[in-house]
Amino acid sequence: MSEIKKVAVIGSGVMGAGIAAQVANGGVPVLLLDIVPKDAQDSTDPVKRNAVAAGAVERLKKADPAAFMSERAAKLVSIGNIDDNLADIAGCDWIVEVVIERLDIKQALYHRIDAARKPGTPVSSNTSTIPLAHLVEGLPDGFKKDFLVTHFFNPPRYMRLLEIVEGAHTDPAQTAKVVRFCDYVLGKSIVDCKDSPGFIANRLGVYWMQTAVLEAIDGGLTVEEVDAIMGRPFGIPKTGVFGLIDLVGLDLMPHITASMSATLPKSDPFHATVREEALITKMIAEGYTGRKGKGGFYRLNRGAGGRKDKQAIDLATGEYRAVAKVDLPELADADKRPLKFLQSDTKAGRYAARVISRVLAYAANLVPEAADEITAIDDAMRLGYNWKLGPFQLIDKIGVEWLNAQLAAEGVPVPALVANAGTKTFYRIEDGKRQYLGRDGVYRDLVRPEGVIMLEDIKLVSKPVLKSSSASVWDIGDGVLCFEFTSKSNSLDQSIMNLLEKTIRTVKERYKALVIYNEGTNFSVGANIGVALFAANIAAWSEIETMISSGQAIYKQLKYAPFPVVSAPAGMALGGGCEILLHSDAIQAHAETYAGLVEVGVGLIPGWGGCKEMLNRWKTLGGLPNGPMPATVKVFEMISTAVVSKSAALAKEMLILRKDDGITMNRNRLLADAKAKALALVDGYQPPKPYEPINLPGAAGKAGLDSAVASFHKRKLATNYDVTVSGALAEILTGGAADPTDPVSEDDLLKLERRAFLRLIKTPETLARIEHILETGKPLRN
């Protein structure tokens, strides 16, 4: 159990409010304090005096993407102000300061915190630029002992990186307490940093952005070209450089660079990236500060007919123009062969070589100044800037020989760390263990945090128990197998279904339990609709019927298997992926699980038991009024509008997760938690009781649902084909031709699902929707 039961966050700006929301998402009460507004200084009305913090919470509730994982989490945030409520921090077990980046203001607040907190309460700052040693200068020794830096990244709910900085006087026990809470309760991946300006991610990330911008201006490149060059070829998000600055805010960049310039030694290469550009100064002055302003390097301009056209700024003239398609043939396979791209004698290749070589060199120079080991640098950039590869992983992919030659050609000193590595790679796999190269030239094992199990590690030391073209099955110890999807986007096909059936037999014969889990971005986006489209185009209706019926049968086997089945989703679990969850004994979900039955988006209905499972859950667990109609209406509303949970907590409210299903905040701990849940179910395990037939409303109920849909259609909120698909769904959920007094069985509902699915997939409208989503990745809007 965590020692931290309540948290105080002081400062309710974007970061402070976001941190408070994530604490609440972890199920922990949080006190959010800020200043009293100037116009309420003389007021005694707490509503007026707490307006700053209250406004922050209201903005959190409306944020998109959502800051809170549920309405229940939002209720865990209480508000106040520093003048009237600072004494309340005595009831908190951790205090986080997130006020303006001014040393004098922070230190004045620390003296007040020290007087109000209970002795021994850890205090941390979310500073991104001020060294810890400066923050605690002149403060009591007892405060220094309990103080550390906890640098979150924005938005705190979604960014997994947390940089931790200890001071010379920090008690390691206090750090361990905060780290454990942030790991298990807030879901953060911890990177230990030295007390140096900008720590790791922002110091290197800002250097990268500044270098890329200045080289682009000097080299005559467009913003579109730079973002294409700095994106996919190097595993960097498609926002690239200019798109990222728009997201962060152009107006923040001068403040960050000024702060780091003031604290970094004059010899640091960072200073070479600090240069005032007239265009950027003008943009900021005129309100073009990025997405939060009137636009930035990109903007949306309202054109004829109210249409929004995306425009980009011309770095040479400062004028906006339509976004241009990037035509750089050398980018075609640059992500697979980055060295070839960097060596290409083209404008893009030369630009990339100048920027990447300098960034990689700067990263190498941060060891040991900003971090003890290269792993911290790589983790910080992967977690904080969403790079697929950290700088040293990128050096391994490109080749250290190229980096040395490029730096020499540009007259840039080769970092000692790179020179000492010689021909060695920075990472290797030895005897089934991942290793990294230490500063002394000796390889060391990469050690996971205690209690973490990763499938990628298991794969290094074992072979799959079973395997197909789209899935693998792994022994994760203690008699538990793990079923892993390996298809594109983890979409479900017949190969997966066949292997799942074989896995059920294998576990029954030789193992104790089964966990369904993978380490992809998404658990599963559902059935491979491309296969269904191909079969429909050649009128292979019997094949489609077999695909649906076999899927239903295998999911039913999974549900009634004589051993525990635990699904462990993360990311999207849609359609057939959601139906796997519904047929599992238990679910251990990552907090960021987005689950739902979305088949209506392609003109279909759930065909692998999703309808009958959701009906049963809302009948038995939903707390709805008695009678055949309430559960039917609830499930119809969710499936007909393709509702997807925006968190695991909301999936629990939708009854995709049940009361006893678990939620794991830290993605890296998901497999271990799922395995533990499966093993906990083994002793005395009994399969679920057979599906009890349920009374459904029949023809009268269907007429009621059809009438509701007709109302939406009349108001042009539903298309003609939406009416058709909703009618097919209504027929299933009301029991088809069954009389309301005759209970409908599990097999009856499966038959209704099959019949409706086959009827819909034969229509040109459904095939058009499937083709559109396969081509564009987006639903067809009629």
SS (H, E, C) 393-460: HHHHHHCHHHHHHHHHHHCCCCCHHHHHHCCCCCEEEECCEEEEECCCCCEEECCCCCCCCCHHHHHH
Using DSSP bridges, classify how beta strands 77-81 and 30-34 pair: parallel, antiparallel or unpaired: parallel
Which residues in the chain show pLDDT less than 50?
Answer: none
Residues 6+ away with beta carbon under 8 Å from 504? 514, 554, 557, 558, 561
Report how far apart, in Å, the C-alpha atoms of 428 and of each of 48, 64, 400, 533 are.
Answer: 59, 41, 14, 43
Neighbours of 400 (CB within 10 A): 20
Residue 105 to residues 42, 129, 139, 695, Cα–Cα distance (Å):
22, 15, 14, 66
Number of Cβ atoms within 10 Å of the Cβ of 182:
26
> CA separation (Å) from 779 to 175, 413, 525, 772?
48, 52, 14, 7
pLDDT for the residue 781: 62
Rounded-to-integer distance, Cα 220 and Cα 253, Å: 22
Gyration radius of the chain over CA positions: 28
Q: Which residue has the tokens 């403040």?
A: 255
CB 183 within 8 A of CB 160: no
pLDDT at 134: 94
pLDDT of residue 780: 67
Q: What phi and psi values does residue 606 have, to the nearest 5 degrees?
A: -55, 125
Q: Measuring CA to CA, which residue among 665, 655, 677, 568 is closest to residue 27?
A: 665
**Omega of the bond prior to 415 within 30 degrees of 0, cis?**
no
**What pLDDT is stored for residue 259 in this prediction?**
87
For the record, the structure tokens of 290 come out as 């990025």
C-beta of residue 670 within 8 angstroms of C-beta of residue 568: yes
In order of 113, 405, 447, the CA distances from 412 in angstroms are: 47, 10, 34
pLDDT score, position 778 = 76
Q: Match 């402070």 to its residue by tokens.
A: 16
Whole-number Å distance between alpha carbons of 756 and 735: 12
Which pLDDT score, from 0 to 100, does residue 772 have? 86
Q: Residue 575: how many CB atoms within 10 A of its CB?
A: 28
Contacts of 416 (CB under 8 A, 6+ apart): none
CA 631 to chain centre: 32
Q: What interhelical angle do 720-733 and 746-761 show, nearest 10?
A: 160
Tokens of 401: 């020989």
In the sheet that holds 320-322, the strands lie side by side as 298-302, 308-313, 320-322
Task: Yes or no: say if 764 and 609 are a contact pair by the CB < 8 Å rule.
Answer: no
Of 207, 161, 213, 211, nearest to 183 by C-alpha is: 161
DSSP element (H, E) containing 573 = strand 571-574
* φ and ψ at residue 39, rounded to 5 degrees: -80, 0
| pTM as predicted | 0.95
Which residue reads 């579109």 in tokens?
Answer: 224
pLDDT at residue 712, as a whole number: 93
Q: Which 3 state secondary structure label does DSSP give 180?
A: helix
Q: At what angle do helices 629-640 and 698-714 cross, to 10 degrees?
A: 40
**743, 694 contact by CB (below 8 A):** yes
